[in-house]
Amino acid sequence: MDKSLAMLAANWLEECTRKHDLCRPVDPAFRPTRLIQILGADKVKLILPAEEHSGPYVAFSHCWGGVEALKLRRHDLSRFRTGLGINELPASYQEAISICPSMNLYFIWIDSLCIIQDSDEDWEREAVNMKLVYGNASLNLCAATGSNCLEKSFTSREPFLFKPLELVSSWSNQEPQNFLLTFTDMFQEDVSESPLHARAWVYQEYYLSKRSLILGRGQMWWHCSEVLACEGHPNGMSDGLGTWQSGASSLKHNSDQEPLRNSGHISPYCSASGWVHRVKQYARTCLTKETDRAIAFSGVAQAFGESHNITEKYLAGLWRCHLLRDICWGVRFRCITRRRVGYRAPSWSWISLDGPFDLCPDIEQGPSVAFLERVWAHYGHQEKGIIALSKGGGLEVCGHLMGPRRVGAKGEPSYFEISADQPCGNIPDSREPWHKVLWDEHDSAEEPMVSYLDKLNLRCRGKPLVDGGCRETLRLKDAEGSFFYLPIHESGLVLYGLVLYQPTHQSGIFHRVGKWESNACLDKSDISSLRVVYPRQIVYII
């Protein structure tokens, strides 16, 4: 980085540190378990801040990219503590380390160098602390362009390409006017759509950080809780460039903070709407290890819960206060989606699924048709109420369970009936009834699949550890068990619910296998018939 860019970055940091109240770390004294100390232009070493002097630090965000590069292992601890030559590090790390001293920052946190990579225990302990690591860093440095850690972000650039073009009008019968010609989608193209922001872990890192310095393909960017700026607009975006700001603000935790944090009461709709937006953004990202899906989002959940004053439990990607709305998530049409053989989360959680999904539409929820009786859960790790790794869990829902149904000649279960002579209820002629099922799982040929946990040893419902279970997966058309429809809530003249599956050899337990929508039971007479034909009962979903 040349001197002019280094000076610009230092000015942004100084201005933010002195003047921006929203950008101050929650706990300035916090230090991660390990940091890399920059000893000069040629050497770094690993330190333990609890045992030796440290200072404000940078938290680095980058793409690993699946390449072989230096990383911390148990047998390397002594060598890392003694010191490493800069030339031993991947190119993106060298680039990041070279920038820090120009901002008077001499400590940096890099995940692959500060977490012991061949220790599951160390990784799990450190992974649940990402909210603290990134939330209390003096700066989040983002290598947005490199697709792996061997690539630098700043290569040859043409500064004139991102400088706004100044124009003076010369229209007849009008006074000359000054204009700036600029590319309003530059942030989206340079940052939001960069290789870095496709990473699920980085979504959390960027969201939690108070301020980020981004090394983009086109130019360098500054994004803190109060300002979005770049080389072309070093003093920040003007009102006329609001499209840049709108695309960037939703990526930062600051869009959730004020005035929510100081509000005594926040409407359930406000927090529900905000949560849907967060999960939708996260769902667009990718993971190298799908098993990280829950823990890579746990810091976002913790920060969101605090800023929205949510006091109820967070349950594997869902808040208890929004649970009956958000369990009606669905997969995207014609996408390959599967549940892993190994247990990751209950079937009612989107975390249980590998593949793209969406929560319910961002609209006001109407009346509930079902009621949540009880939730139990068991987790391997928990940080201040935010769950990282799920080991078991279930819902007891009181609702109108419609079924059983079995797979018919068409290769799928038939829809419900309200009564024998009126298959879809008492529907006016002006409204054609319709039903839609979105199956949770599909194979590479887009064929619907059904899976369930088998060989369970549920000691009792009060002790929710799923012990010794294994997942069985089969094609929908080959499923011999029973299917049920469970209405959950109404919204916008549409009834949303779950499709549940019960294998022939299990009783009293249901597995979510899909989402369904219908307009066939929304008249008062339909609801009355529903309650008579399918009385409320407790439905136990794992």
**What is the helix (H) or strand (E) element at residue 482, kind and residue range?**
strand 482-491
Q: Which of 270-279, 405-414, 505-514 has the lowest mean pLDDT?
A: 405-414
The structure tokens 């667009």 sit at 284
* Alpha-carbon span 318 to 324, nearest angstrom: 10
Q: What is the 3-state secondary structure (H, E, C) of 44-65?
A: EEEECCCCCCCCCCEEEECCCC
- The mean pLDDT value of the chain amounts to 81
Cβ proximity of 306 and 385 under 8 Å: no
Within a 10 A sphere around the Cβ of 259, how many other Cβ atoms? 7
* 3-class secondary structure, 68: coil
Q: How confident is the model at residue 541 (pLDDT cuts 50, 70, 90)?
A: very high
**Is the pLDDT assigned to residue 261 strictly greater than 50?**
no
Cβ proximity of 126 and 112 under 8 Å: no
Query: Which pLDDT does position 421 carry in this prediction?
Result: 36
Cβ proximity of 13 and 19 under 8 Å: no
pLDDT tens digits, 231-247: 888 988 654 454 455 45
**474 Cβ partners below 8 Å, 6+ apart?**
449, 450, 451
* Alpha-carbon span 309 to 24, nearest angstrom: 20
* Alpha-carbon span 203 to 287, nearest angstrom: 11
| Average pLDDT estimate for 383-411 | 74
pLDDT tens digits, 182-238: 666 777 777 877 888 888 999 999 999 999 999 988 789 999 988 999 988 898 865
pLDDT tens digits, 281-306: 898 888 888 888 888 998 999 889 88
Q: How confident is the model at residue 152 (pLDDT cuts 50, 70, 90)?
A: confident
Q: How confident is the model at residue 418 (pLDDT cuts 50, 70, 90)?
A: very low
Q: What percent of the chain has pLDDT over 90?
A: 36
Q: Which of 122-126, 156-160, 190-194, 332-336 has the lowest mean pLDDT?
A: 156-160
pLDDT tens digits, 487-533: 888 776 788 899 999 999 998 899 999 998 887 655 555 666 777 78
* 3-class secondary structure, 112: helix
**252 Cβ partners below 8 Å, 6+ apart?**
206, 207, 209, 223, 224, 225
Label the pairing between strands 211-215 and 139-143.
Answer: parallel
Report CA-CA distances (Å) from 151 to 79, 93, 147. 25, 9, 7
Q: How confident is the model at residue 16 (pLDDT cuts 50, 70, 90)?
A: very high
* Alpha-carbon span 130 to 112, nearest angstrom: 14
**Is the pLDDT assigned to residue 376 strictly greater than 70?**
no
Q: Global pTM?
A: 0.82
**What is the helix (H) or strand (E) element at residue 109, kind and residue range?**
strand 107-109
Greater model confidence, 520 or 73:
73
Greater model confidence, 125 or 167:
125
Per-residue exposure over 388-413, b if at least 16 CB sit within 10 Å of its own CB, e if not: bbbbbbbbebebbbbbebebeeeebb
* Alpha-carbon span 15 to 25, nearest angstrom: 15
Greater model confidence, 400 or 467:
400
Query: Which pLDDT does position 288 carry in this prediction?
Result: 82
Token output for 240: 């006329």
Query: Which pLDDT does position 409 carry in this prediction?
Result: 67
Greater model confidence, 110 or 516:
110
* 3-class secondary structure, 395: strand
**Is the pLDDT assigned to residue 371 strictly greater than 60?**
yes
Greater model confidence, 499 or 1:
499
Q: How confident is the model at residue 465 (pLDDT cuts 50, 70, 90)?
A: low
Give one DSSP letter per residue of 308-363, joined into a string: TT--SPEETTEEGGGHHHHTT-EEPTT--BEE-SS--S-TTSGGGEES-EE-S-SS
Query: Which pLDDT does position 214 carry in this prediction?
Result: 94
* Amino acid (one-letter) located at 386: I
Q: Which of 224-233, 264-273, 445-454 has the lowest mean pLDDT?
A: 264-273
Q: How confident is the model at residue 115 (pLDDT cuts 50, 70, 90)?
A: very high
**443 Cβ partners below 8 Å, 6+ apart?**
336, 338, 449, 475
